[in-house]
A = this chain, B = another copy of it.
Amino acid sequence: MKADQVPPVTLAELRSELVHRHRQLVDYRLVVWTAGNASVRVPDSELFLIKASGVDYDALTPSSMVLCHLDGSLAEESELSPSSDTAAHAYVYRHMPEVGGVVHTHSNYACAFAAVGEPIPCVLTGIADEFGGEIPVGPFARIGDDAIGQGIVATLSGHRSRAVLMANHGVFTIGEDAKAAVKAAVLCEDSARSVLLARGLGAPRVIAQDDVDALYERYQNVYGQR
Contacts and interface: CB of A to CB of B under 8 A. Distances in A.
Interface of A: 28, 32-35, 52-55, 80-81, 84, 106, 108-109, 111-118, 123-126, 140, 142-144, 167-170, 183, 186-187, 190, 193-205, 207, 211, 214-215, 218-219, 222-226
Total identical chains: 4
Contacts of A118: 201-202
Nearest to A34: B224
Contacts of A194: 106, 108, 111-112, 115
Nearest to A169: B125
B170 A124 contact: yes
9 smallest beta-carbon distances between A and B, as pairs: A54-B224, A112-B197, A115-B198, A115-B204, A112-B198, A111-B194, A116-B202, A125-B169, A115-B123
A106 B124 contact: yes
A167 B105 CA distance: 30
